[in-house]
A and B are shown apart, each in its own frame.
Chain A
Amino acid sequence: MKPSPKRLLLLYLLPIPVLFLSLWVGPSRMFGWEEVIAHFFQVGTIQEDAGQQMLHTILWDIRLPRILLGFLIGGALSVSGCALQAMFRNPLVCPYILGLSSGAAFGAAVSIAIGSGLLQLFSFGFGILAVGASYLLARSRKTVSIVSLILSGVVVSGLFTALLTIVQYCVDPFKLQTIVHWTMGNLHTAGWGKLRSAAGPILVGTGILLLYRFRLNVIALGDEQCRSVGLHPEAEKFRMLVPATLAASASVAVAGVIGLVGLLVPHLVRMMIGPDNRRLVPASFCFGGMYLVLVDDLARSLASVEIPIGVFTNLIGGPFLIYLLRKERVGWQI
């Protein structure tokens, strides 16, 4: 059945209160909700009191950019997952299927090992390089079959994982610790700078996918069905792969490998509103963004020490996905 407009509206609007309420979540419990609200309505005025300045720093320089970055990354990974699942005609696909995460992890490790200070650029570049290599290896006679693409993705992923292991084996223990921490995925270093560097590629990538979301429906029906209605399947796949990789690579570059979001969120949203990508793509962006902000809220408030968000998304997402697949009427026939 068609999703009700109320349900759709709820999916689109729910992130607003969640994002706002997340401003209260964090290890610092120096202030209550009245102070936060009061502070919000005086933004721009000179903060003379030390407590007020602390509040200002925590809210505006730590929590707000972190919440916004978490929202963008959650949305980007989810939309990228939607696009790749439609493209591969397979609901088991996630944005990391073509070696993006292992490529990005290797790039980050190299940057940490040589102390280049260009960690984001390295992981972004190697993430894209890995996906590009998978695509080119799978291409034969001007066509890219889905099976060869997945196979080349597995090969490229394995290759970069091996290279990452070599780097980890060679570096000193302090750098090794940094590399391991990075691969766990985290948002605790989020700031306006990271938000600025990630927002561009994420918004461009998700924007393009949002614009062409109807074509995802056509691609999801298969190459023959796509070609018979006047769309070139290879060109369309490439058109979707580039923005999906751009958005996911930018996310991984600033926050490390955050697993299962791109797999779980499209599933959840599909169960709520159906598989039509015209609705699924924007709803996944909103819901995915909200989901990651909520998980991050848990990651930074459950224990006295912050737990890396990538660990949390796997801990929560894995069992939850299995539960849903067993409980709900999801009978994929592949």
Chain B
Amino acid sequence: MTDPNGLVPAARIDHLYFSYAGKPILQGIHLQIEEGSFTVFLGPNGSGKTTLLKLIAGILEPTSGRITVYGEGLNEMPLRKRARQVGYLAQQQQIIFPFLTEDVVLTGRAGGIRFQPKTEDIDAAVQAMKDVGISHLLHKPFTELSGGEQQLVMIARVVAQNPKMLLLDEPTSHLDLHYQARVLRFIQEWKANGHTVAAVLHDPNHALIAADRIVLLKQGRIVGQGGPGEIRVQELEDVYKTRLVPLSFRNQTVVFSDVDGGFSSDAVHRSEQRSKT
């Protein structure tokens, strides 16, 4: 399936519905993820972002509708082939055994390993850890790492898998500012190498700063989408049901939650003036 320009999109979602225990989670989703782009799903808790990501990753099967990845139906695709097309980073890690991080990252190569990993698989795992900047964690037990370090190890695992499209569920959660910036930079590098990235992010500012396209979800439906410059603050306010204060900086807009209504328009104006100078 191609778009009007004759390009095959990385993923295409048509008439997608998903219910769990009779409760509708996603309703009538239509979406196209362009190849080589960074798409971010934003929305409040329970809006269906993670479910949508899991459906595109093939972790869940849709109740109805169709998902195609690089022109091929996802559900008809063998799992091993799917693993070469799509890589998925889960929101939470529940690893019980104290595996070394190297061993965890190596499992990212499992789709291409029949019995035992070869030297090239081990090299790819080590390289992925280098790329993510966590070589120093190579021989540490995964269960002894902080939540943020565990997140980075799992990112390295999906990098070692080397799929065409990365699906990341809250890749910056648990991370401090340093690692948040590193992950966002890494996504840009990954994209620059021709890969496609789609992510669920908690912080709308990360999307406003780094995404090519933002998709807003509310109660299982897409309520808005566009580039960071096209998304209006009011749309974000409607989705998150909270008052937001925009702040412009270097031609980019970020938003603050106006927690106690303390941001007066004067204060915002002064802040904008400061950023211009």
Contact = CB atoms under 8 A, between A and B. Distances in A.
Nearest to B121: A214
Interface string A256-284: 00000000000000100011101000000
Contacts of B94: 89, 222
A231 B58 CA distance: 12
Interface in B42-97: 54, 57-59, 79-84, 87-88, 90, 94-97
Contacts of A326: none
Contacts of B90: 224-225, 228
A317 interface: no
B212 interface: no
Contacts of A221: 95, 104, 107
A155 B50 CA distance: 36
Contact of B111 (A90, A214, A230): A230
Given A225-B107, A231-B110, A211 B115 contact: yes
A197 interface: no
A87 to B, nearest CB: 12
**Which range contains the number of A residues in contact with the other chain?**
20 to 34
A226 B111 CA distance: 9
A275 B58 CA distance: 29
B196 interface: no
Contacts of B184: none
B115 to A, nearest CB: 6
B157 to A, nearest CB: 8
Contacts of B158: 228
Contacts, number: 90
Contacts of B108: 229
A231 B88 CA distance: 13
A2 B100 contact: yes
A230 B84 CA distance: 8
A217 B99 contact: yes
A230 B139 contact: no
A60 B25 CA distance: 69
Which among A220, A229, A232, A276 has the greatest number of chain B C-beta atoms within 10 A? A229
B83 A228 contact: yes
A214 B110 contact: yes
Interface string B251-262: 000000000000
**Which range contains the number of B residues in contact with the other chain?**
35 or more
A212 B110 CA distance: 11
A155 B153 CA distance: 39
A228 B88 contact: yes
A221 B103 CA distance: 11
Contact of B87 (A211, A214, A218, A228): A228
Nearest to B113: A214
B110 A218 contact: yes
A280 to B, nearest CB: 9
A215 B100 contact: no
Nearest to A1: B139
A212 B113 CA distance: 10
Given A214-B110, A214-B117, A218-B110, A230 B97 contact: no
A217 B59 CA distance: 19
Given A217-B103, A221-B104, A231 B111 contact: yes
Nearest to A229: B110
A86 B95 CA distance: 11
A90 B117 CA distance: 24
A147 interface: no
Given A228-B57, A230-B82, A333 B110 contact: no
A227 interface: yes
A230 B96 contact: no
A273 to B, nearest CB: 11
A275 B97 contact: yes
Contacts of B87: 228
B119 interface: no
B27 interface: no
A224 B167 CA distance: 13
B37 interface: no
Nearest to A90: B96
B143 A229 contact: no
A334 B143 CA distance: 12
A269 B87 CA distance: 33
Interface in A320-334: 332-334
Contacts of A217: 99, 103, 106-107
Interface in A82-109: 86, 89-91
B97 A220 contact: yes
A227 B60 CA distance: 10
B100 A274 contact: yes
Given A2-B100, A230-B80, 5 more contacts: A221-B95, A229-B110, A231-B110, A274-B100, A274-B141
Nearest 4 interchain pairs by C-beta: A230-B111, A230-B83, A275-B97, A228-B88
30 contacts: A2-B100, A86-B97, A89-B94, A90-B96, A91-B97, A211-B115, A213-B116, A214-B117, A215-B110, A217-B103, A218-B107, A220-B97, A221-B107, A224-B59, A225-B90, A226-B110, A227-B58, A228-B57, A228-B59, A228-B83, A229-B107, A229-B109, A229-B161, A230-B112, A231-B80, A232-B79, A270-B97, A274-B98, A275-B98, A333-B143
